Every structure is written in C-alpha cells, then in structure tokens.
Amino acid sequence: MRGWFRGIRGFGGFRRLLAQIASKRSGLFDRPRSRQGECAAGGLYGALETSLGDRGERLAARWLSRRGYRILHRNYTLGRDEADLIALDPDGETIVIVEVKTRSHPHASPEWSLGRDKGYRLARLAARLDGVPEFRDRPVRIDAVAIVWPESEEPQVRHYEAAFESPY
C-alpha cells in the first residue's frame, strides 16, 4: 500500500492536468454546445424522444414560437451550465434563456422545482453568454415555462417572463 501512494505522487504532470481541467483554464468547458435540430436524447436512442421532459421542451418551443419568439437553440450547454431553450424575444433584440419544467400529475406544480440554485446557474449562464459572439452586447432575460401534462389530457402551459434576476 505504501508504495502505491508514492507512485501516485510521482504523477505530478497528471495532477497538474487534472487541476487545470478542474479550474477550467484549459478552455475545455468554455465551448458552447447545442443540440439544435438533434434528438435531445442523443444518438443512443435515435429519433425517439419519449421522456416527459423532452416532450415538454418541444411543446414549450412550439408554444413560444406561436407567440413570436424565435428558438435559437435547444439544450444549450456552456461550461457546466445548461439551458433548455435559448430564444429571441419578439422585440428582436433580447436573448431569452428559458427553463422548462414539466410534470404529469394534474395537481403538481412544476414551479416548485425552480429553486435558488437553478436560478443561480441560469444567471451564471446568462453572464457567460456575453463571451459568445452570437449573443454579445444583447440584453438577456431568464424566463420559465411550467407545463402540467396529465396523461390523455391537454397540457396546461404557464409562461413566466423574467422569472429570475441575475446577480451579475
């Protein structure tokens, strides 16, 4: 056992690499990723989007599109932060980060799952969007869409503009 620990200490370069990755200095986590036009479940399931969350995100995208929003990205990831939808407001200027929460129970309230931590992560994403050329120098707003979609019933969609305020 003692020799094993000494061997690990000998990997100084490896430990530095891990520290660099952990501190995000490598730029590895700073590249934006998006699944625009792809299945949200990824390549593993092909074109099947069967989860309630995926169906809720598609419904929210259609619902917002009908109200004049232009959907720019789905499942946009920047670093460790992720947004369900990124849209352009009907005013044509404001970038809107949209968090979608979907529940199937008719008495469930998806709004309860939008907590302070999620708001912080979305605000951090909003601050980091200024570094992406596509979104630079544009006002950013964080909205929430809550969907209650009981089986064999019509879904109920609630849209909350400016659901979170950014501390940045």
Output the DSSP codes for 91-131: TSS-EEEEEEEEE-STT--GGGG--HHHHHHHHHHHHHGGG
Indicate the pLDDT class of residue 152, thresholds 50, 70 and 90. Answer: confident
**Whole-angstrom Cα distance, residue 42 to residue 22?**
25
Q: Is a pLDDT exceeding 60 seen at residue 166?
A: yes
Query: Regarding predicted confidence, which is higher, 5 or 98?
Result: 98
Q: What is the mean pLDDT of residues 101-108?
A: 89
Beta-carbon count within 10 A of 102 CB: 24
How much is the mean pLDDT over the chain?
79
Q: Return the pLDDT at 16.
A: 55
Query: Which phi and psi (to 5°) does residue 66 adopt?
Result: -65, -20
Q: What is the mean pLDDT of residues 146-156?
A: 93
Please measure the distance between the N-terminal and C-terminal CA atoms of the chain and give it in whole angstroms: 48
Q: What is the CATH number of domain 31-164?
A: 3.40.1350.10
Of the candidate ranges 8-12, 78-82, 139-143, the one whose mean pLDDT is the lowest? 8-12
**Whole-angstrom Cα distance, residue 60 to residue 147?**
8
Q: What is the mean pLDDT of residues 48-71?
A: 91
Distance (Å) of CA 117 to CA 4, 37, 98, 113: 39, 28, 15, 10
Percent of the chain with pLDDT over 90: 56
